[in-house]
Every structure is written in C-alpha cells, then in structure tokens.
Structure 1
Amino acid sequence: MSPRATVPLTSDISAALAMFFHAGAGPSHTTITTVLTGSGYGDNYVYNPNAQGTNKQQRVLTALRTAQREPTRARTLVDELLSTLRVAGLIGEEASGENVDRLKRALASSGWYLTEDGYLQPFGNVDLDTGGRPALEEQVDRLRRSTSDPALLIGTAKELLESVSKFVLEELGIPVGNKMSYDQLWHLARERLGVLPQQVDPNLPGVEAIRAIHQSTWNIADQINKLRNLQGTGHGRTLPSGVSEDLAMLVVREAATVADYMLARLDREKG
C-alpha cells in the first residue's frame, strides 16, 4: 500500500481530529484557514471582533465531514491537520492524553495508525520494495505496542509473517513467484534458514526440544493464517467469540517473536 493511500475518513476520525480544537485549543484560526484553503475545503471564514463566529472545532469538523462526502483531497486535509498538530506539540514525540488516545483508536478501527512522530500510516502490508528490512523491524516493534480490535491485530500479524518469509527468500536470492502460497513461502524460507525440524543436528544435546521449538515457528505461522482466514480479507469481519483483545495481543506477540527469530537466522546465514 502506498504511503499516500487514501485515508478512510470516518465520522469517528473526523470527530477525534476536531477535538484537538475544542474550546479554543489547538492551532489558530489563521492556521486553520491556511490548511482548509490549501487542501481545497475552504470555508470563507472571516474574523469579526464584534460578533461570535464559528469556533475552531466546528470549522475543522465541517471541513472533515465535507471531505468524507468529497474525498478527492481528504488525505491532503488530514495530513495538513496532523502537520499543524505536530508543530503545536499536540501529537508525536512525547505527546499523550485523551485526545491522542481517541485519535489513535479512531484510526485503528479503520486500519490506520499514528507513528511515534505523529505521521499517518496504514496497518498491514509491509512495502518491501521501498522499506525493506527497516520496514519489517518497524512493523514488528509496532505490533508489540499495539492495542486495537482483534480482527485488525490478527490480520496485521499474518501479513507481517508473510512479508518476513518473502523478505528472507529475496535476501537469499530465491525468486518469489506470484502464485506461491503462504504455506509454500514459509516452508521454503524455513528450509533455507535451517529451521525445519529434520534439519537439526541429531547429535546436539536437547535435539528433540530444539526440533519441537523449530516446529512451533510453523505452528504459529500456520494457525495465525487460519485464524486470519476466518475473518475474510477485510477489517471488521466477525472472529470467533473466543478471540478477545487479550488473545489477539498474544497472537501478535508470538508472531513478532517468530519474525525476530527468522530475521536473526537470516543475519547469521548472510554472515
């Protein structure tokens, strides 16, 4: 997915962004005018010291709701608003608080997240062509910190593991065909890294335990894929009732551990 992909602007996201301007807080009217006009959602606001006009929160919310109906430049509007909030120190770096948490939850429910420095990114697929190893490691780290709905977490975990298997094979010079299944990718990646149970030296102390641990890397990847398939291909599908957020977080932490192990084995393989 491209870094400039269109944000699915929802009512929750609009309301969460507008809350940064509640009761006169946030960047000035002048800054808001610049953002709205520059992004194509200008409201012809004129300051009148003798009359109470539209407040900042209402202006931002109106523009965002217009962008929901006319989304051609919605991503530009959202990015520019986030820029003003970063400059004001309201998001990014060490910024925290109810407004930040509300915005993160609203974005996560639509498959998006804020990076630590306050930029918008989509959950899910890692762009190996442009991000490579750093993108994978960032995804692993973010998964460990994530809190969101179970379906989104499990889907993201599966996509991370698929990206890791492809990355391993590409780094080892093995062509990855478009028709290769998830199972094939993982078997070949594990084989090339010596992670198949039958590849463990039988003379090693604890060989059976090591083989079982290596087998667990596939068991985790396989079961995450099966669980992911129960919700279809999109966010918001219904998972089995037993899949709570706590269980989803266990799933993604296991996925992150497997991803770390495979990348460490790759490092050793490449010297």
Structure 2
Amino acid sequence: MSSLTFLERQTLEKYLRMSGGYVLEYSDRTFQEFVCESVGVDIHDGKYAIDGGSKARKLRAFWKAESDIMVGTLLLALINGEVNTARDPDDATQALASQCRQIATRLLAGGPNLNKIKEQAKILNANHLSEQIRRLEESVDKDPSLAIGTAKELIETCCKTILAERGKPLPGTPTVSTLTKETLKELKLVPEGIDNAARGADVIKRLLSNLGTIGNNLAELRGLYGTGHGMHGSATGLSARHAKLAVGAAATLAVFLFETHQDTKP
C-alpha cells in the first residue's frame, strides 16, 4: 500500500485528468502496455478492478495496492511521458506537473510510511490520533517544523492512550519522557524486564534503552526547530529529510507500543 495522501491523490488526479474515468489520452490497450513496460504489471488484472473497470479506477486501486516504489515509478513515467508529448503547456499545467513530480520523487525517496499507525488509529477509534497522522502526512515535506512538533505529540498521544486503556493514566501534564518511561514500564518493556539468560538479552536491552530515548530526543528537537516556541526572526529550520527522520522514528515507536499493547492486554 502506498503512502499517498488525500491531497496528493487530488493533485495527481487533476494532472492525469482522471475525473471522467480516463487517464490522460490512453486507450485501454495503450494504458495496459505503458503500465506493463513501466512497472511490469497488468493493470487490467482483476485485483485492480475491484472498484470498477475504468482506467482511472484501476489506477486508484493500483495506488492502494502497491508499494511507494512501484507507485512512484509509474507516476514518474506517466508525468514524463505527458510532459514530453504535451504541446506548449501553459504555466498552470507546468506548475501542476512539477507538483506531481515532487510527489513521485517523495515516494521513490522512501518517505515515512504511516500506514501501520493509521491501522492502529482505526483499531483504537482514536480520532485525535488520526488527525495527527493527517497533519504529519501533509506537513512532512511542506512544513518540516510542524511535522517535527507533531511527531513529538504523536508519542505523547500514543502513551496517554495506552496508559488510559490500561487504567493507569498519569495526573497533571507529564513530560513526554515521563510518559514514555511509564508506558514502557506498564508494557514490561523496560530493559530490566529481560532475563539475562535469554538469547540476545544484551542486544534486546540496548534496543529497549534506545526506544526509551526517542520521545525525549523528539522533545529536544521540537524545542530547537519544531513548532510551539517562538524563534529569532532570522532563524532557519531543518529540511524535509530531517522531518522524515523525526516522523519515521515517532511512527516506528508508536506502532511498536500499540502492537505490544494489543498483544498483551490484561
């Protein structure tokens, strides 16, 4: 499943002229040939026709079913093909093509995949968590500072949700470091919980110790570069690649904690 966001899909559909069920000027045959040549799959395969038989519906199904790498590869091929054959595109069309190329490049660059944490939000029926995920998806490239701040908040929401579900909510406004520590303890993920006789115990302990520092490190990063604090007027922020690192780390920790919570519920 690709990590295309709702806004990215809207942008792509506009450029690829998919509103009438079409994809650019391709016929069924030429579209099949183009997709096969680009990514080696048959776009007319039944798994892409689950929502309908039009080319646009099959392409949407392809976006849902395939990985970021495959989707990004096909998108870039479609965009480049259209740019090379278009006659005198206006400024708006060229700008839209540039936006679409950036989307394809993000997919190919391996941006943070938030699908796993989305699944957890659905399982927990957590609307606030879903809103944070949406904000992360939309800001990681466009507003790195917001993404970094939201990554830290994601860890806080994760820990508060787990502790509340287990009847162990913390009073007041605990720090993200305290929340992470208490959540790891409640889930019995603290390093002391690993039997020294267990195979690979030292490695597991180191991994768990590192897990416990993610929340605190994100809080420090947020204080330096994220949203939530006024900065000097000439201050410069971090780039999208730094935001991807922060978001990826937060999502990995959150998924691990949620999955452990689900597997070990009392």
TM-score relative to the length of structure 2? 0.49
Higher share in helix: 2
TM-score relative to the length of structure 1? 0.48
